[in-house]
Amino acid sequence: MSPANPTTHDDVYRKLQERIDELPVPFPSTASGVELRLLKALFDEREAHRCRVRRDRERFSGLRR
């Protein structure tokens, strides 16, 4: 992802933060965005996206019968 489009880049990490925040030990967002910087240090963009896609599959798999 190019630095010219930081919103799209941050969106991947924001979705990951929201996913982690649903877990028993939450990971809330902050006004400073420090949680995004931490996630960027721990996950590359592809890994962050993969976590979000996996969650979407889990959410919708219960609908199939």
Q: Find out whether 9 and 45 touch, Cβ atoms under 8 Å.
A: yes
Looking at residues 18-45, what average pLDDT do you find?
A: 93
Phi, psi dihedrals of residue 16, rounded to the nearest 5°: -65, -45
- The 10s digit of each residue's pLDDT in 7-24 is 677 999 999 999 899 889
* 43 domain residue, yes or no: yes
Predicted pLDDT of residue 63: 54
* 15 domain residue, yes or no: yes
Q: How many domains does the chain have?
A: 1
Lookup: tokens for 17:
């933060």
Predicted pLDDT of residue 3: 45
* 1 domain residue, yes or no: no
Q: Find out whether 33 and 27 touch, Cβ atoms under 8 Å.
A: no
C-alpha to C-alpha distance for 37 and 55, rounded to whole angstroms: 21
- Could you list the residue range(s) of the whole structural domain that residue 36 is in? 6-61
